[in-house]
């Protein structure tokens, strides 16, 4: 065997090990559509058991998320918001206005951990690609939505 074939095989084996480890980890959560969450956000209700975070513009967030207080969000990209009902109303109405300008609709989602347990909720346009990674006991890392969240629909 030539040295090039051996090197290629070693690199391939290493790639398979890395990918397999990530897939086998299985500590990824997901968003699940929820009419109850949608109704909660559109009724401007703040849950005292959650910490609220926004991503993007302070006035027109790309996403609004509530995570139960017994969970820690590990991310510097989300902005923690201390909301009261009137602050929730302003954010939601601003998001609705921005979405309507682009003929988009906002939806509610449950934020689920790797076991399917609810750890919070989410309000944004649908179709966003985010990653929810449970990184330890009651610790989660959630990527922010893309900057062009309110892009015009195709």
Whether the per-residue pLDDT at 24 is higher than 70: the answer is no
Q: Is residue 1 part of a domain?
A: no
Whether the per-residue pLDDT at 19 is higher than 90: the answer is no
Helix (H) or strand (E) holding 14: helix 3-25
- Number of domain units in the chain: 1
Q: Is residue 2 part of a domain?
A: no
Whether the per-residue pLDDT at 144 is higher than 80: the answer is yes
Q: Is residue 9 part of a domain?
A: no
Q: Is residue 11 part of a domain?
A: no
Sign (positive or negative) of CA dihedral 94, 99, 103, 106: negative
Whether the per-residue pLDDT at 152 is higher than 80: the answer is no
- Distant-in-sequence, close-in-space partners of 69: CB < 8 Å, separation ≥ 6: 49, 50, 51
User: What pLDDT score was predicted for residue 154?
Assistant: 44
Residue 31: C-alpha distances to residues 15, 103, 115, 145 (Å): 29, 22, 12, 13
Helices 35-42 and 85-101 pack at an angle, to 10 degrees, of: 110
Residue 93: C-alpha distances to residues 6, 58, 121, 134 (Å): 60, 13, 18, 31
User: What pLDDT score was predicted for residue 25?
Assistant: 56
Q: What is the mean pLDDT of residues 126-136?
A: 93
Per-residue confidence at 18, pLDDT binned at 50, 70, 90?
Answer: low
User: What pLDDT score was predicted for residue 15?
Assistant: 67
Domain span at residue 36 reads 27-142
Please provide the average confidence, as pLDDT, over all residues in the chain. 89
Q: What is the mean pLDDT of residues 50-62?
A: 95
Q: Is residue 104 part of a domain?
A: yes
Q: Is residue 15 part of a domain?
A: no
The tokens for 50 are 């959650």
106 vs 20, residue with greater confidence:
106
Whether the per-residue pLDDT at 42 is higher than 80: the answer is yes
Q: Is residue 131 part of a domain?
A: yes
Put simply, whether the predicted model's pTM sits higher than 0.95 gets the answer no
Q: For residues 144 and 76, what is the distance between their CA atoms, to the nearest angstrom?
A: 10
Helix (H) or strand (E) holding 90: helix 85-101
Nearest to 94 by CA among 122, 63, 120, 121: 63
Q: Residue 32, Cβ neighbours under 10 Å: how many? A: 15
Residue 52: C-alpha distances to residues 47, 57, 63, 80 (Å): 9, 15, 11, 6
Q: What is the mean pLDDT of residues 74-92?
A: 93
């Amino acid at each position: 065997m030539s040295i090039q074939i051996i090197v290629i095989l070693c690199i391939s084996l290493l790639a398979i090990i890395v990918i397999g480890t990530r897939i086998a980890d299985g500590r990824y959560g997901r968003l699940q559509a929820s009419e109850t969450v949608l109704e909660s956000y559109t009724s401007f209700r703040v849950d005292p058991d959650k910490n609220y975070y926004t991503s993007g513009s302070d006035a027109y967030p790309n996403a609004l998320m509530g995570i139960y207080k017994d969970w820690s969000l590990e991310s510097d990209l989300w902005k923690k918001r201390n909301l009261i009902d009137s602050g929730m109303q302003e954010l939601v109405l601003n998001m609705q206005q921005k979405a309507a300008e682009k003929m988009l609709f906002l939806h509610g989602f449950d934020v689920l951990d790797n076991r399917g347990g609810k750890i919070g909720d989410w309000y944004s346009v649908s179709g966003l690609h985010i990653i929810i990674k449970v990184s330890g006991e009651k610790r989660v890392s959630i990527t922010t939505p893309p900057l062009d969240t309110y892009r015009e629909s195709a």
